Amino acid sequence: MPQPIKVLCLHGWVQSGPTMSKKMGTVQKYLSKFAELHFPTGPVEYKAEADPNDEAEQKRLASMGADQGGKYGWFEVEDFKNTYECWDKSLQVINEYMKEKGPFDGIIGFSQGAGIGAMLAHLLQPGQPPNPYVQHPPLKFAVFIGGFRSEKPEFDHFYEPKLSLPNLHISGTADTLVPLARSKQLMERCENPNILLHPGMHVIPQQAIYKTGIRDFMYSVPISGEATKHPRDLTLIVAVSSPSLGIGKKNNMPWHIKEEMGYFANVTNSTNGIELAEGKSKIMNVVLMGRACYDSIPKKNRPLKERINVVITRTEKYNFGLTKKDKIPEHLYAADSIDAALDTLAEKYDNTDIQIGKVFVIGGSFLYGSALYHRLTKNILFTRIYHEYQCDSFFPFEPKDAAAWEKKSHAELEKFVGIPVHEGHLKAVGSKNEEVELEFELYGKDDVSHALSKLTV
């Protein structure tokens, strides 16, 4: 089995490593299924004792996570504002911890931990000159919760050039300690920031969307940390039970609707509008799917015909459900990440007469989630089934409510898929004679700067 993802978790002011572990609550418990989490303690001690009769001060410290286990941080604080003294000492403490416990794949930083984490990630970016503070391989990802950038000009070099490694920002719209406007300043100094907003204050949100969001984001990054050398646009194609966004039950489709299945088959097979390159005789589209998704396809139908099938799995020597005597079918491969899958496609087909067409991500929920955070994901083909089926797996979010996604016109949908598509609600009947309506939609990834401008601060 591959090594687990190793994550350095950096706490906020008046916290400690053990405090953050506790304050992460169900998030830590959930992420521990997928990653090995480590919690160092900052070197800056908060020595003042709050007046037990000062309710405002007690409330302020409680909101920041302080407890009797020790109150520490990564920067000095004066009048409740960071002075940024001791930042170099903190980086050296982190460096010693990483030498002892690492190497680490990525970081999760909360508040001050996100502030020092941004500096750490920048120093370790490929191409940066050697520094006297940290010696560690480049990180593969960073998660900033209630994060911020320093407002002091002497620290501007920590944000130039922009942070290029995959990054996820989780911020509270009601946060008064680190308002969204301050978090946005850090987002603007990162390339392709992924953003999750929650309605709360200065906390690590515990709801499922944030737990699964961090997990999916971590798994959107290739194991090697190396992005594909053969980038191709990715398109998610998904059908959901509306309004719950359910997509499956017990690893199977909860519905069998001829019109929906026909749309999926026609779209993923269509190469209309793709120009055949010189030296190529045939265009084939690609379907990327998770291991459970592939296993759920009836054996007689897998791999999906006339398409290149790639199963994304971290299971070593995955055998596609075949016996040792079976020969692996043509156009069927396995890869441990989306980036590795794209490299496999280039390796297998660049020097053949087959031209790669569109690349579709077809499920399940785990792969959908990680693909949504992938920098190459540009479009979502979204089929709404207006009938509430009982499901136990769900699409991660509602695209029409997301700032980063823009609904396209029906004409743009038809042009993109290359086939005629019914406009509006299409009446259909399911396998149990239930009456349903379908609606076919296309969403495109918005420009990063435009998406950031739409954030309410």
Closest to 86 (Cα-Cα) out of 144, 135, 13 = 13
Instruction: Note whether 350 and 307 are same-domain residues.
Output: yes
Per-residue model confidence (pLDDT) at position 450 = 67
Q: Taking the mean position of all CA atoms in its chain, how far away is CA 429? A: 35
Mean local confidence (pLDDT), 436-450: 88
Domain for residue 225, yes or no?
no
Q: What is the pLDDT of residue 161?
A: 94
CATH label of the domain that carries residue 213: 3.40.50.1820
Q: What is the predicted pLDDT for the residue at 446?
A: 76
d(CA 87, CA 118): 12
The CA distances from residue 133 to 91, 148, 157, in Å, are 6, 21, 15
182 and 36 within one domain: yes
Residues 173, 290, single domain; the answer is: no
Domain with 357 in it: 234-453
pLDDT at 447 over 80: no
pLDDT at 317: 86
Whether 11 and 154 map to the same domain: the answer is yes
Q: For 311, left (φ over 0), alpha (ψ -120 to 50), or beta?
A: beta
CA distance 13 to 76: 9
What confidence tier does 1 reach under pLDDT thresholds 50, 70, 90?
Answer: very low
Query: Across residues 376-385, what is the average pLDDT?
Result: 97
211 in a domain, yes or no? yes
Q: How confident is the model at residue 70 (pLDDT cuts 50, 70, 90)?
A: confident
Looking at the structure of the chain, the number of domains it has is 2
| Domain at 265, CATH number | 3.40.430.10
Q: For the residues 128-147, what does the mean pLDDT come to?
A: 96
Whether 315 maps to a domain, the answer reads yes
pLDDT, one tens digit per residue, over 153-181 is: 999 999 999 999 999 999 999 999 999 99
- Non-local (6+) Cβ contacts of 53 within 8 A are none
The overall average pLDDT reported for the chain is 92
pLDDT for the residue numbered 60: 53
Do 279 and 423 fall into the same domain?
yes
pLDDT in tens, 313-370: 988 889 998 988 899 999 999 999 999 999 999 999 999 999 999 999 999 999 999 9
Give the separation between CA 106 and CA 98, rounded to whole angstroms: 11
pLDDT at res. 244: 95
For residue 357, is it within any domain? yes
Q: Are residues 62 and 205 in the same domain?
A: yes
Same domain assignment for residues 198 and 246: no
> Is 90 exceeded by the pLDDT of residue 452?
no
Q: Which of 194, 219, 244 corresponds to the end of one domain?
A: 219
Closest CA to 114 of 208, 202, 226: 202
- The answer to whether position 106 is within a domain reads yes
Lowest pLDDT segment from 43-57, 119-133, 214-228, 428-442: 43-57
- How far from each other are the two terminal CA atoms of the chain, in whole angstroms? 44
List of residues 6+ apart from 281 with CB closer than 8 A: 353, 354
According to DSSP, residue 128 is labeled P
Asked whether residue 429 falls in the same domain as residue 282, the answer is yes
Residues 262 and 213 in one domain: no
Residues 201 and 239 in one domain: no
Mark which of 219, 248, 270 sits at the end of a domain.
219
Q: Which amino acid belongs to residue 110?
A: F
Pair (65, 114) in one structural domain:
yes
- pLDDT tens-digit series, residues 292-302: 999 999 999 99
Q: Does 161 sit behind a cis peptide bond, omega within 30 degrees of 0 on the bond before it? A: yes
Residue 229 belongs to a domain: no
pLDDT higher for 453 or 387? 387
Which residue in 289, 290, 168 sits closest to 218, CA to CA? 168
pLDDT in tens, 393-429: 999 989 998 878 999 999 999 999 999 999 999 999 9
Domain termination site, one of 160, 195, 219 = 219
Residue 226 lies in a domain: no
Q: Flag whether 41 is in a domain.
A: yes
- Same-domain pairing of 203 and 262: no
- Per-residue pLDDT band at 79 (split at 50, 70, 90): confident
Judge whether residue 2 has pLDDT over 60.
no
Share of the chain above pLDDT 90, in %: 84
